[in-house]
Amino acid sequence: MPANFQCNSEPRVQLTKSRISYFCKMSVHLRSTVRRALLLANRAGNGPIAITGQRAALGNASAMGSAAASPNPKPSIRTNVYENNIVTSPYADCEFHDMTLTQKFFESAVRWPDKIALECGISGRRYTYNTMSQAVRRFGSALTRMGFIQGEVMGIIAPNLPEFPIAMFGAAGAGMPVALVNPTYTADEIARQMTLVEATCLFGVSEMAETLKAVAQLCPTVRRIVLLGPSQDGCASYQDMMQDSGDLFNDNIKVGFVFVWFCNACVEITSPFS
């Protein structure tokens, strides 16, 4: 290579950047132009505009002219309607029901009473849909018997166990919103979240008894701790709650509103209540 030869790739780099900038500007301009065209066509009274994918065509085919018509038009499966600046879905409106999460579970559980609903991957402990439904009723009834009322919050601080959804559906069926907390959190972290949602009851495993007792000391609204495992002083036992007759469970709890709470890692899954 000659000594006086100079290789300068800067113009090519600048050209590439220029092209990228040009295409970006053209893309924005194209989107803006298409949007204005749709609005103008709609205002001109040519009928609603059907939008399918990236193509737009006027509902009135005569306004487009025969030259714009495709010789082999493909049928549109999913077509949105754009009219009066409103895009309407091609699908039917969703129907809202007035059922709680627990009522919806009961409705589905009767289809498979003898099928396995819950199974522990470690111990192999199982619940069929029938036994799970009974456990949910007993848990909710036991909470009512303890004096908890509709609207009070239960905090669940437990690992993924079969009894986890039983406690959640049981509390929700009693009209109690459920706040889920990571069981690896410290007592201070749990107490901060339980104070924020004003929890009155805590559910966890017996191995977390001391942590939950510390949370109750820091959170003045907590009145009761329920533990999955052997009975301990100052705590209710999940096994004892399973001896409840279930007669206080309210199958006809009224639906008021749905409220979902997000605070850090705490998610409140609420059964609607009035």
Query: What are the extents of the domains in the chain?
Result: 17-88, 101-269
User: Model pTM?
Assistant: 0.62
Architecture of domain 101-269: 3-Layer(aba) Sandwich (3.40)
Mapped onto helix, strand or coil, the DSSP state of residue 107 is helix
Mapped onto helix, strand or coil, the DSSP state of residue 191 is helix
Strands 224-228 and 199-205 turn out to be parallel
pLDDT in tens, the chain (274 residues): 544 545 454 444 444 555 556 556 666 566 666 666 666 655 555 555 444 444 444 344 444 444 444 555 555 555 666 677 788 888 888 877 777 888 889 998 999 999 999 999 999 999 999 999 999 999 999 999 999 999 999 999 999 999 999 999 999 999 999 999 999 999 999 999 999 999 999 999 999 999 999 999 999 999 999 999 888 888 999 999 999 999 999 888 875 544 444 343 333 333 333 3
* 226, 139 Cβ separation under 8 angstroms: no
